[in-house]
Structure 1
Amino acid sequence: MAEIKSTLDLIMERTKGLTMTEEEKKALNSRELGGKVKGWVQKCIDGTLDLARLKEEIQQEKAKEPELRPALLKELLDRVDPDGNSERVFQMMESILHRDTAPLRELIGGYRTELSEKERELAAKAISDLSQQGISGSAVVPNLDRDPLWIKVREQLKDRSIQKIRSAVAR
């Protein structure tokens, strides 16, 4: 009777002559490294991995992976959120990559100051517009989160801030 082949046997038989090019190997290695770094950073942010243990993991991998530090920096920069709390990300940059985060903190502070100023300007304009329509009083509070202009301004300021952060680190 004929032998019944497993799915794995069939796959191995069909792919036995195929090999990966150097570019494909590099791309696969880069994706694997990116996934590993992303996992480490997420665990550290979640608090399931402390900075000391993360340093140990990186020391073990650093010899095998020359692109580890740039991949880690890229992942950390992707996690910097001008609107959120990036303190843990900054701690990782300082502790593991030995990067000074003061310029990044200043950029975020500048973004938040500019955002507050724009918010006050648009709120004052909205109150003025409502008052011209006969709506006024101490209880009138404009809802800027529904204002398309405010949403656009906020997105533009945030995008510009993120670009500044990335270019500041690239130097």
Structure 2
Amino acid sequence: MAEIKSAIELAMEKTKDLVVGGEERRTIATREAESKVKAVVRRYLGDMTSQEDAAREFDEIDADRRLKGSVLVETLVEEFDVKKSPERLLALFGLTGIDLEGSLRNEFATLQGQFQEEMARKEKTIRGKISDSLAFLGITGTGIEPNLAAWDEWTEGAEEAGSIFKQRIQEWKEKVRASSSRL
């Protein structure tokens, strides 16, 4: 009598002699390390874990220290945004061994300060324009505080300021990458 085999048994029979080569193994290990490092960073940035726990999780990842460091640098650089408060992100650079206490940190502080000054100037200008628009519509008074986020002028102004600093931030990110490659 013929034996009925399941699809799983058939697949197992056909693949029993297949093995994963050394190069494929390294590729798989690299991808696993990347996903684990990115998960640690996401949990940390999402306030789901403390810096100490993130450091412990990072150390527990079973991969080469240089690989983990390079993946961490790439992830941190990708996540970096001058518009957000990056203190938590900068704290993770300590896990990579990159010293951001020196010129890179000073350059970042300068960039962030200039960006915040530019945004404050834009906010003042745009608030004035919005107040003028509201006054033209007959809406005036000391209690009138425009909701900037609801106005297209604010969105355009924020995008303009972001584009001004985009190139400078990109240059800073490249310096961080270069600094990490020397480790």
How far apart are residue 88 of structure 1 and its match? 1.9
* Partner in structure 2 of residue 117 of structure 1: 121
Q: What corresponds to 2:99 in structure 1?
A: 99
Deviation readout 1:30-72 (Å, 9 max, x if unpaired):
43332111022234442255355256336x6225xx5332211
Q: Deviations for 1:85-125, whole angstroms, at most 9, x for unmatched residues?
A: 32221111134332313322332222222112101101101
Counterpart for residue 153 of structure 1: 157
Match of 1:39 in 2: 39
With normalisation by structure 2, the TM-score equals: 0.70
Q: Is the Cα–Cα contact under 8 Å of residues 38 and 75 in structure 1 kept in the other structure?
A: yes
1:141 alignment counterpart: 145
Structure 2 counterpart of 1:61, one-letter code: A
Q: How far apart are the structure 2 equivalents of 1:102 and 1:55?
A: 26
| Identity over aligned pairs, percent | 28
1:83-98 mapped onto 2 (5 Å cutoff): 83-98=83-98
C-alpha distance in 1 between matches for 2:168 and 2:49: 28
CA RMSD between the two structures:
3.3
Gaps of 5+ in 1: none
Looking at structure 2, the residues matched to 33 and 151 of structure 1 have their Cα atoms a distance apart, in angstroms, of 38
- Paired with 1:24 and 1:159, the residues of 2 have a C-alpha distance of 41
Q: Distance in 2 between matches of 1:80 and 1:110?
A: 16
Q: How far off is 1:20 after superposition?
A: 7.7
Q: Any residues of structure 2 matched to 1:20-31 within 5 Å, and which? A: 28-31=28-31
Indicate the SS of the match to 2:142.
Answer: coil
Conserved 8 A contact 2:73-2:96: no
- SS of the residue 2:63 aligns to: helix
Question: 1:80 aligns to what?
Answer: 80
Which residue does the alignment assign to 2:64?
62
Give distance in 2, aligned partners of 1:152 and 1:22: 51
Residues paired across the two proteins, number: 168
The answer to whether the 8 A contact 1:44-1:54 is kept is no
The amino acid across from 1:147 in the alignment is W
Q: 2:56 aligns with which of 53, 57, 60?
A: 53
